Structure 1
Amino acid sequence: MELDALITDLALILIVAGVVTLLFKKLKQPVVLGYIVAGFLVGPNFVFFPTIVDEGDINLWAELGIIVLLFSLGLEFSFKKLFQVGASAVLTALVVVSGMMLAGYGAGRLLHFTYLDSIFLGAMLSMSSTTIIIKAFTDLNLRKKAFTNLVFGVLIVEDLFAVVMMVILSSIAVKNSFEGAELLESIAKLVFFLIIWFVVGISILPLILKKTRKFLNDETLLVVSMGLCLGMVVLATYAGFSSALGAFVMGSILAGTNEAERIEKVVQPVKDLFGAIFFVSVGMLVSPAALSQYALPICLLSIVVIVGQIFFGTVGMLASGQTLKISIQSGFSLSQIGEFAFIIASLGMSLNVIDKFLYPIVVAVSVITTFLTPYCIRLADPAYSWIERRLPERWLAAIDRYSQSRTEIKPHKAVWKEAIAQYLWRVLLYSSLIVAIIMVSKMWFIPLMVEILPEWGRMIAAIVTFVVMSPFLWALMVKEVSMSLIRKLGEGSVNRVPLTLMIVFRILLALFFVIYYLSIVHSQRTGVLLGLGIFIVVLILLSKRIQKQFMRIENIFMDNLNERELRKTGRNTSLVSDMHLAYMDVNADCPFAGRRLMDSDLRKEYGINVVSIQRGTRRINIPKGETRIFPGDTIGVIGTDDQIQSLLTVVEGSESPEEETDNREVTFTHVVVPGNSPLIGQTSSSLSIRNKNNCLVVGIERADGTFHQPDGQTCFEAHDVIWLVGEPDNIKQLIQDKIENHIQHT
């Protein structure tokens, strides 16, 4: 009986990947590099090791790996997080991506790469690696530094840029040319579909998950979430986009729901498995012959990545108003490429638009820049000191003035900025929804009604479509931005003209949509429909029912959008006055974890009341004072906004992008007391082994073969075998400080 090639290939891949990654863990190197090395070992370019049989099957698994990776990335992304990263991160990411795109394209053309190879190369070199940077910051103990939050913000924006870039690159690859009009059309199409998917998903999915929550155990949640992911992949592909975009969008939609943490947890093993296979497939394409042949391009491109990322990252941060030191620290942190370079390279290979030699070159550049990342981060402070000493005083003063001016709050300018942002967002959102309704009516509803009722079908379809569009037409024409902003802007006469023009533009835009739809359903009844359209527009402006219905739709959407945050802060569960009900998950580092409620002083210190405790499948309502709070519990509390917010940071801790687990382990060893040791007659308490050396004496084996469990007062005797437990470094220090020269260490 012979096994299918897929099984044997998968067994080989996972066994080799497991062994290699264990070695990389021991060497404290990124696991991603271990997967690439494993891929090289089992690939066709390494003849001293068993090789996989069918590369086609592995490519299929790798494609699934990309989908799951992008889905997981979307779960960590969320559009809410994008709005919170700030202008500095957005501007810096824009400078870095555009600058590195040009640098990569220029380097490709300099190396005589083709036009499309150079474009894809620029895209690959423009994305820093989130995984590698987080690992480096953790290893160097820099996670709490001021500049790291800005770097994380840049990485979030770069992730979004990468997804958009993949769509644009696909369009360029299909057309085999770079045309401005077609590029703008592709971007407009992407924005349109993103808005539609985002609005529909946020409006429906949280409600479905909320209604079915009691049925969603981990197994069911995994099946449902992966089903939603692959369903969006199919939809995105059908709409002409990449599968990766669909996976990312669905992850971003689910990131704002109450089930986001659970989905991340149940999807994590799937992500680890398929992600490993994807990176192994990357390593399979590494060719020593190609690396030798293209050694010069690899070295040149590695220099372009390091120097370019540092330069553009620093310039972007300076342009956004950061200080010179923070800008340099941020720039030096971005000096590598990683997972998105491989994904973009895979896209180019799948479209057959880039040469095969480009893949191993990019992998080699990624490996080199990844290894150098910690050293680049360490060089940031010396580089800042060197630059500060050599820059003219007037330049340093100009940078300081610019930084202060950018961070200075200008009330009037800030109000206008917020008002315009709200205005543009509303116009874009409601226009997209109206266009979507018109498209559905034109492509599906009108033909269906005409088929059913040939005489009156078109008119009935038009009436139904206008009714469905009416709330969004009202929102587009009538609904203002925040009234508090309008009042602030309306104080001066200079603001009345632009405010009036903004209103007029929205009304004209709504009328354009009405006239455009009427032109679609043009027939001998145009006059009737035109009159009906005008009547509906007037009705929209005056109808309180439509206004009320729209406000209800908008409130549901906003609650769903902020569901994850609202559940924690409780702002949508008002009880009386400023009191709210909120739920929060108890972190292992919570100071009162394990204590009784009566001893935690939560009411005295924070002014809140604990009304429920969810512990696994068990729920404790109105817990007694003797009830203890344990890590992993979900507690329901009642308090004001300020009280809940202050408690939230204590209970759940501050958020950080991937906290690293402390993997230091204790070891179990023994030492022998020689017959002439001055330790004879001493106890573990008198030696303070537990308190001073953080080690524990767990057993004493006598010379007569008896075994004793010490209580701290048990005296050591000649030829005792003392069994110790502790961290290896602590045990070694204990032997050096207190036992060496007195105990013969075996």
Structure 2
Amino acid sequence: MHGAHEVLQAIAIVLCVAAVTTVLFQRLRQPVVLGYILAGLVVGPHVPIPLVANPDVVATLSELGVILLMFSLGLEFSLRKLFSVGFTAGLTAVIQCAIMVWLGFVVGRAFGWTSRESIFIGAIIAISSTTIIAKAFDEQGIKGRLRELVVGVLIVEDLIAVLLMATLTAISTGAGLSLGELSLTTGRLVAFLVGLVVVGLFIIPRAVRAVVKLNRPETTLVASMGICFAVALLAQAFGYSVALGAFLAGSLVAESGEEKVVEHLVQPVRDMFAAIFFVSVGMLISPALIAEHWVAILVLTLVVIAGKILGVTLGAFLTGNGTRTSVQAGMSLAQIGEFSFIIAGLGLSLRATGDFVYPVAVAVSAITTLTTPILIKTSGPVATWVDRKLPKPLQTFATLYGTWVERLREAPAHQTRGVEVRRLARLLLLDAALLIGLAIGISLGTRKVALFIEERTGISRALAENLLLVGVAVLSVPFLVGIVRMARRLGEVLAQAALPPRQDGKVDLAAAPRRLLIVTLQVVTVLLVGIPLVAITQPFLRGPAGPLIILVLLVTLGVAFWRGATNLHGHVRAGAEVVVAALAAQSHSREPGSEEHALDDVPKLLPGLGEPVPVRLEDSSPAVGQTLAQLNLRGLTGATVLAIQRGEESVSVPTAQEVLRSGDVLALTGTQEAVQAARGLLERGGAPIASPSTS
């Protein structure tokens, strides 16, 4: 138990030093989080400065910062918002975590660490830091779709972390991990979440509304804090993180409709304890340990930044987000944090890892904490650069793919053939599970079976092992073929739901987009199944057989994808002529309001082009006099210009150097959100959605 004097001394030292460093960083126009980290380094035990705060006291106080930050984050995201991004966030988190677990294991083995240590390293670098991102987003004022997507991914990652910890505990204690145990662990987690949400929805929103009606701010603050810490404690009692409990408490309070009132009252308390949390992270930085393990720390830092940017960007894009949002999400999630400390501490307590793993995790977390604000701040320009450098066919695909996914989400239930999709998904998972079981089973039993064959037949053990491996490879082929076939069939069913084929015997003008969508959905399925499969089986298999198989599949699909993207680009150029004709017909019409409905028939004629919307540029438009390259409409909003009607002239698929003039009618296509943002930019010069520099 800490004495009152120790607590007072720690708070005084931490807050005074943090105040000085944050004022300095504000003057330098740098994120204040970096100032907190520097303050932690100053008052920590590893730097010879006569200002040392008790690390245990600071760590205890920092836990309050985590809880309050997560509670505030929950206030911004009601359960309805979370469910709306749940599918996208879930798939993105699975792809990213699987990639990082595999990369961590590979790096660990390359450094000569044991298999268990390498598995722990993979788990440590798989989970991003909700606390760090929440603070960085608050500082840079990031709202909208980007924030919702990132927070959704973080919540799913926290749930994955719970499963990883249960798995690692079972492996490290020698109890092994059966499918039944993993199912039981997952079932308990789901039961806890469902039970808490159901019961909480009946009690917490009503209670909060009743307290707010009293119109006593201090009563509202105390009651809200009571709910926050009670739910956090309940989560801890069930073996889950206090951060998860606090977030759910905030989401349940948000369902009351009084979240703005509560958030305003909580903010000052949250900011103070959040500062202590980041100072506590800085106190963990040991220059001596960093110097000792600098190579591993450098490599893992690069792997975390590059791997997470790639994994999240890929997952977010393939689930229907635009290029800009996907790149920004990837650069926002490129760090590790509090869960990494927990997993590293678990490895030490179970004696599954060496003493070096924890300080390495702390150092990587500290460095990526420093880089996170910079990456978030530069993510907008980087996303713009990426969009400009994409080949033309990929730019076209990136714009239209979002509209296809949007149509798929909005399609009626009977059109999406949910029963068929679920059946194919079950078969797909069954093939993957059998393949995993076969790989792990033969890995664990190869030596015993080879010894048995040697004793009975006289064949050498080495030859017997090679024969077994060949046999397993042959047995694996049907499962691999099954996965590819199910992925293809699943892609066909979903693509037909998004872009239904014509039934009247006429030319199917959606054929080219549908073929490309089928291939893309195949890629998504292979990634969703293949990457976790590789991550799970890699510790049991010799050599890079698993990754090579996935790579061959992706290269094969990549060739088909490129052909489809090239054909789609030609399809769009032809479709743009139809748009030009529709705009030209409108320009000769005298009927009022005809311009607004000029492109209403285009989606029926060319279903793969989304729903083009005409926008007229007035004299007051900020876009007048700018080229499309200067305007950067697609890079900022995700919408693209299919055609321009200019008096008696028409321009189909305009180039980047096309100068916009007053009176031009632009045919925009993209998702509804992208087109809405583009209209705002063209008509009023409004800020693009979720841009770090403008939000």
TM-score in terms of structure 1 length = 0.50
Q: Deviations over 1:289-345 (max 9, x none)?
A: 12222222232223223322332233224422455x44764465346215xx23431
Distance 1:191 1:295, change over 3 A: same
- AA aligned opposite 1:345: F
Report the Cα distance in structure 2 between the residues aligned to 1:377 and 1:249, rounded to whole angstroms: 30
How far off its partner does 1:252 sit?
A: 1.8
- AA aligned opposite 1:363: A
Matched, 1:384 2:387: yes
In structure 2, the residue matched to 1:304 is: 303
Superposed, 1:45-60 pairs within 5 Å as: 45-52=46-53, 54-60=54-60
Q: Deviations over 1:404-454 (max 9, x none)?
A: 543445976544659879x99xxxxxxxxxxxxxxxxxxxxxxxxxxxxxx
How far off its partner does 1:78 sit?
A: 2.2
Report the Cα distance in structure 2 between the residues aligned to 1:332 and 1:231, rounded to whole angstroms: 33
- AA aligned opposite 2:298: C
In structure 2, the residue matched to 1:532 is: none
How far off its partner does 1:97 sit?
A: 3.1
* Correspondence for 1:360 among 359, 363, 371: 363
Which structure has greater helix proportion? 2
Distance 1:22 1:81, change over 3 A: same
Report the Cα distance in structure 2 between the residues aligned to 1:186 and 1:227, rounded to whole angstroms: 29
Report the Cα distance in structure 2 between the residues aligned to 1:351 and 1:268, rounded to whole angstroms: 35
Work out whether residues 166 and 242 of structure 1, in 8 Å CA contact, stay in contact via their aligned partners in 2: no
Superposed, 1:134-533 pairs within 5 Å as: 149-177=144-172, 179=177, 180-215=179-214, 217-322=216-321, 325-326=323-324, 329-330=327-328, 333-334=331-332, 336-337=334-335, 341-346=337-342, 348-349=344-345, 352-353=348-349, 355-357=357-359, 358-375=361-378, 377-388=380-391, 405-409=404-408, 414-415=413-414
Report the Cα distance in structure 1 between the residues aligned to 2:329 and 2:690, rounded to whole angstroms: 19
Report the Cα distance in structure 1 between the residues aligned to 2:328 and 2:216, rounded to whole angstroms: 42
Superposed, 1:53-92 pairs within 5 Å as: 54-85=54-85, 87-92=87-92
Work out whether residues 328 and 379 of structure 2, in 8 Å CA contact, stay in contact via their aligned partners in 1: no
Distance 1:293 1:70, change over 3 A: same
Report the Cα distance in structure 1 between the residues aligned to 2:401 and 2:210, rounded to whole angstroms: 52
Report the Cα distance in structure 2 between the residues aligned to 1:70 and 1:135, rounded to whole angstroms: 10
Distance 1:348 1:129, change over 3 A: closer
Distance 1:188 1:166, change over 3 A: same
Report the Cα distance in structure 2 between the residues aligned to 1:65 and 1:138, rounded to whole angstroms: 15
Report the Cα distance in structure 2 between the residues aligned to 1:25 and 1:286, rounded to whole angstroms: 23
Q: In terms of mean alpha carbon deviation, does 310-319 or 6-15 score higher?
A: 310-319
Report the Cα distance in structure 1 between the residues aligned to 2:31 and 2:82, rounded to whole angstroms: 27
In structure 1, the residue matched to 2:574 is: none
Work out whether residues 134 and 657 of structure 1, in 8 Å CA contact, stay in contact via their aligned partners in 2: no
Report the Cα distance in structure 2 between the residues aligned to 1:172 and 1:135, rounded to whole angstroms: 30
Q: The residue matched to 2:240 in structure 1 has which SS?
A: coil
Report the Cα distance in structure 1 between the residues aligned to 2:18 and 2:186, rounded to whole angstroms: 39
Report the Cα distance in structure 1 between the residues aligned to 2:346 and 2:17, rounded to whole angstroms: 26
Report the Cα distance in structure 1 between the residues aligned to 2:301 and 2:398, rounded to whole angstroms: 30
Matched, 1:10 2:6: no
Q: Can you give the 5+ residue segments of structure 2 that lack an aligned partner in the other structure?
A: 424-679, 681-685
Report the Cα distance in structure 1 between the residues aligned to 2:340 and 2:249, rounded to whole angstroms: 20
How far off its partner does 1:106 sit?
A: 2.9
TM-score in terms of structure 2 length = 0.53
Distance 1:658 1:344, change over 3 A: farther
Q: In terms of mean alpha carbon deviation, does 187-196 or 22-31 score higher?
A: 22-31
- AA aligned opposite 1:210: R
In structure 1, the residue matched to 2:595 is: none
Work out whether residues 310 and 328 of structure 1, in 8 Å CA contact, stay in contact via their aligned partners in 2: no
Report the Cα distance in structure 2 between the residues aligned to 1:264 and 1:283, rounded to whole angstroms: 27
Report the Cα distance in structure 2 between the residues aligned to 1:244 and 1:134, rounded to whole angstroms: 12
Q: The residue matched to 1:4 in structure 2 has which SS?
A: helix
- AA aligned opposite 2:331: S
Identity among equivalent pairs (%): 32
Work out whether residues 220 and 262 of structure 2, in 8 Å CA contact, stay in contact via their aligned partners in 1: yes
How far off its partner does 1:89 sit?
A: 4.3
How far off its partner does 1:359 sit?
A: 1.2
How far off its partner does 1:385 sit?
A: 3.0
Distance 1:411 1:176, change over 3 A: closer
In structure 1, the residue matched to 2:598 is: none
Report the Cα distance in structure 2 between the residues aligned to 1:216 and 1:176, rounded to whole angstroms: 53
Distance 1:167 1:140, change over 3 A: closer
- AA aligned opposite 1:48: I
Report the Cα distance in structure 1 between the residues aligned to 2:303 and 2:39, rounded to whole angstroms: 27
Q: The residue matched to 2:49 in structure 1 has which SS?
A: coil
Work out whether residues 149 and 329 of structure 2, in 8 Å CA contact, stay in contact via their aligned partners in 1: no
How far off its partner does 1:369 sit?
A: 4.9
- AA aligned opposite 2:239: G
- AA aligned opposite 2:297: I
Work out whether residues 92 and 312 of structure 2, in 8 Å CA contact, stay in contact via their aligned partners in 1: yes
How far off its partner does 1:349 sit?
A: 2.9
Report the Cα distance in structure 2 between the residues aligned to 1:122 and 1:58, rounded to whole angstroms: 28
In structure 1, the residue matched to 2:582 is: none
Work out whether residues 285 and 362 of structure 2, in 8 Å CA contact, stay in contact via their aligned partners in 1: yes
Q: Deviations over 1:113-155 (max 9, x none)?
A: 55565445444534556787788889999x6xxxx85532321
Q: In terms of mean alpha carbon deviation, does 188-197 or 265-274 score higher?
A: 265-274
Report the Cα distance in structure 1 between the residues aligned to 2:402 and 2:120, rounded to whole angstroms: 35
Work out whether residues 313 and 327 of structure 1, in 8 Å CA contact, stay in contact via their aligned partners in 2: no
Superposed, 1:548-627 pairs within 5 Å as: none
Work out whether residues 36 and 278 of structure 2, in 8 Å CA contact, stay in contact via their aligned partners in 1: yes
Work out whether residues 74 and 252 of structure 1, in 8 Å CA contact, stay in contact via their aligned partners in 2: yes
Q: The residue matched to 2:391 in structure 1 has which SS?
A: helix
Report the Cα distance in structure 2 between the residues aligned to 1:71 and 1:136, rounded to whole angstroms: 16
Matched, 1:34 2:32: no
Report the Cα distance in structure 1 between the residues aligned to 2:692 and 2:388, rounded to whole angstroms: 30
Q: The residue matched to 2:358 in structure 1 has which SS?
A: coil
Work out whether residues 18 and 279 of structure 2, in 8 Å CA contact, stay in contact via their aligned partners in 1: yes
Distance 1:263 1:659, change over 3 A: farther
Q: Deviations over 1:224-255 (max 9, x none)?
A: 11112222233223323233332222222112
Q: Relative contact order (alpha carbons < 8 A, sep ≥ 6): 1 or 2 greater?
A: 2
Report the Cα distance in structure 2 between the residues aligned to 1:170 and 1:59, rounded to whole angstroms: 21
Q: In terms of mean alpha carbon deviation, does 97-106 or 283-292 score higher?
A: 97-106
Report the Cα distance in structure 2 between the residues aligned to 1:657 and 1:327, rounded to whole angstroms: 8
